[in-house]
Amino acid sequence: MTSHKITLIEGDGIGPEVVGATRQIIEATGVKIDWEVCQAGAEVFKKGLSTGVPQETIDSILRNKVALKGPLETPVGFGEKSANVTLRKMFETYGNIRPIQEIPGVATPYSGRGIDFVIVRENLEDLYAGIEHMQTPGTAQCLKLISRKGCEKIVRLAFEFARAEGRKKVQCATKANIMKLTEGLMKHTFEDVAKEYPDIEAYHIIVDNCAHQMVKIPEQFDVIVTTNMNGDILSDLGSALIGGLGFAPGANIGDTYSIFEAVHGSAPKYAGKNNINPTAVLLSGVMMLRHLKEFEAANQIEQALFRTFAIDKVLTRDAIGDKGAASTTQLTDTILRNMGKPYPDYKKREYKSLKLPHVPNVPDFVKAIERSVLGIDVFIESILPADDLGLNLERIAVDTSFTLKGISCRGVKVYPDSGLKLDPTDLFRCRFISHDKSDVEDAKIYDLLERITPHHRWTHLEKLNVFDGIQAFSKDHGED
């Protein structure tokens, strides 16, 4: 029998209890695992390491390629970035897979409806790149960066995951109706890639309706692929449908490395109280076993767990309240006693190994044959009325290569006056278009900025790119 080397991070708060229980149960399957126990999280931050992840832990994951991880806390005052996010980014685990499956014996308002779907969330891009700037003392900005390569990887992973689990439908949840370029890139990529998977039904759904449908008819979903922030919110909503965070497992999957962890955090108020639910981490361990192709061991754990809940009625406080609740160790012991016993209603899924998509690892994944710059958007901090700012910028632009096309505030046209009564802020987007609508050289942009600078405080600028004849920028509300 092969022995698997796995990096084990116990984590903070309730981590050691839930990971300890999971380790015992996995070992009871007889699968040979050589655990390399490593540190990360609160204690590491306290020692002054700002990432919260020591080099020994990084080296261990680099060697073993698979990790099972308890929740990590980001203690306030010790480093700004979450060690969880650092690990996901460091090992390029671009896919966050979060199954939402009804668990036998766990009563919820949806019990008996057969909820069984998976959220495949992009894990590295979007607003969670965490690139933020205060543009003015009163206006903050967070960059939402979405790449075609990132979309292609996650969409292909979703279709491959559907095939590995014998699922029939993939839905892509985006807000492409509003964010046509960023969320739209995910939608278009999904529509392109879907053609290569004719055996799987593919639909787009607007993300807010997806949330509504998840609550109304959750059993309609099979696989949902989505951008990072959408996926974060939808998956927490999903966990509530099946009993709460104590039951929601997850996996971070990349081309080379995989990190398995529950959706929940370190729940510090329950640390050491022996009353939390280890199921989410245990089911993350089940996902890890399937990743290691230990399909029988994974099925064995699921059956023992379902027996424990549905036949023995042993459940923790989060599932049934304080009265009659089992402790973490009582639940673990019952699962251990049930190992090897079948669960009568077990729906055995024919799992196949996940075929990881091979998306070329090149930085210029998409190349434009023709490209030009039509003008620039200059973002200006100002307390002037929009008309005064507009007239002033028109005067400044007189001898330059540009015409002021218009000004907007929070995406709505404020100059030329649209007649709307808007509540302005102190940041304006001022759109300058090149007179001859030809490709603008940088020298002309510098010239315009030099003329603006003595009169106004500009905060940043964006080039108005045209790629292969298509305008690659959004219009304001009210802009023609």
| 40 sits near ligand NAP (criterion: CB under 6 A) | no
Nearer to ligand NAP, 247 or 379 (CB): 247
Q: What is the C-alpha separation between 120 and 101, in angstroms, rounded?
A: 14
User: How does DSSP classify residue 306?
Assistant: H
Cis link prior to 54 (omega < 30° from 0)?
no
- DSSP H helices in 117-218: 148-164, 182-194, 207-216
For residue 471, the minimal CB distance to ligand NAP (Å) is 40
Q: Is 373:465 a contact under the CB 8 Å cutoff?
A: yes
For the chain, the C-alpha Rg in angstroms (whole number) is: 26
Q: Which of 10, 183, 318, 476 binds ligand NAP (CB under 6 A)?
A: 318
**Residue 74 makes contact with ligand NAP by CB under 6 A:** yes
Single residue of 23, 264, 405, 456 touching ligand NAP by CB under 6 A: 264
Is residue 88 at the binding interface for ligand NAP, with CB under 6 A as the rule?
no
CB 225 within 8 A of CB 172: yes
Question: Which is nearer to ligand NAP, 82 or 147 (by Cβ)?
Answer: 82
Nearer to ligand NAP (CB atom), residue 82 or residue 474: 82
Min dist CB 15 to ligand NAP, Å, is 8
Binding-site member from 20, 52, 71, 390 for ligand NAP (CB under 6 A): 71
Cα–Cα distance for residue pair 216/379, rounded to 1 Å: 43
Query: Of 21 and 214, which CB lies nearer to ligand NAP in the complex structure?
Result: 21
Least distance in Å: CB of 246 to ligand NAP?
3
Six token digits for residue 407? 């000004």
Query: How many C-alpha atoms does 118 have within 13 Å on its Cβ side?
Result: 24
**In the window 129-148, what residues touch ligand NAP (CB under 6 A)?**
none
Give the H or E element holding residue 48.
none
**Which DSSP string do the residues of 79-105 spell out, in sequence order?**
-SS-HHHHHHHHTT--EEEEEEE--TT
Give the number of residues in contact with ligand NAP, rule: CB under 6 A: 20
Asked if residue 151 binds ligand NAP (CB under 6 A), the reply is no
Query: Per CB under 6 A, does 266 bind ligand NAP?
Result: yes
What is the smallest separation between the CB atom of 282 and ligand NAP, expressed in angstroms?
10
Between the CA of residue 325 and those of 56, 243, 266, 434, 458, what are the distances in Å? 39, 15, 20, 70, 60
CB under 6 A: which stretch of 132-140, 262-270, 430-438, 446-454 binds ligand NAP?
A: 262-270
Binding ligand NAP (rule: CB under 6 A), the pick from 7, 84, 182, 299 is 84
If binding is defined by CB under 6 A, does position 10 make contact with ligand NAP?
A: no
Does the footprint of ligand NAP cover residue 121 (CB under 6 A)? no
- Tell me the window of 52-60, 222-230, 273-281, 290-298 that interacts with ligand NAP (CB under 6 A): 273-281
Two structure tokens written together for 375: 């003008």
> Which residue's CB is nearer to ligand NAP, number 106 or number 194?
106
CA torsion sign for 62, 64, 65, 67 is: negative
**Does 276 participate in binding ligand NAP (rule CB under 6 A)?**
yes
CA max distance for the chain: 84
Going residue by residue from 277 to 296, which x/- string records binding to ligand NAP, judged by CB under 6 A?
x--x----------------
Query: In what order do the strands lie in the sheet containing 95-101?
Result: 32-38, 3-9, 66-69, 258-260, 251-253, 95-101, 116-122, 223-226, 169-174, 201-206
Residue 72 binds to ligand NAP (criterion: CB under 6 A) = yes
Positions marked catalytic = 128, 175, 208, 232
Question: Least distance in Å: CB of 89 to ligand NAP?
Answer: 13
Stretch that binds ligand NAP, among 65-73, 98-106, 218-226, 228-236 (CB under 6 A): 65-73
Q: Retrieve residue 307's tokens.
A: 């027996």
Residue 263, judged by CB atoms within 10 A of its CB (0-12, 13-18, 19+), counts as buried
Where are the extended beta strands (E) located within 227-333? 251-253, 258-260
Binding region for ligand NAP (CB under 6 A) out of 168-176, 257-265, 384-392, 414-422: 257-265
Contacts of residue 449, Cβ cutoff 8 Å, sequence gap at least 6:
378, 458, 461
Is 33 in contact with 4 (CB distance < 8 Å)? yes
In whole angstroms, how close is the CB of 11 to ligand NAP at the nearest point?
A: 7
- Kindly tell me which residue out of 100, 267, 298, 461 binds ligand NAP, with binding defined by CB under 6 A: 267
Polymer length of the chain? 480
Q: Name the residue whose CB lies closest to ligand NAP.
A: 265
Q: Counting contacts by CB under 6 A, is residue 160 touching ligand NAP? A: no
245 binds ligand NAP (CB under 6 A): yes
Which residues contact ligand NAP (rule: CB under 6 A)? 14, 18, 71-74, 82, 84, 245-246, 261, 264-268, 276-277, 280, 318
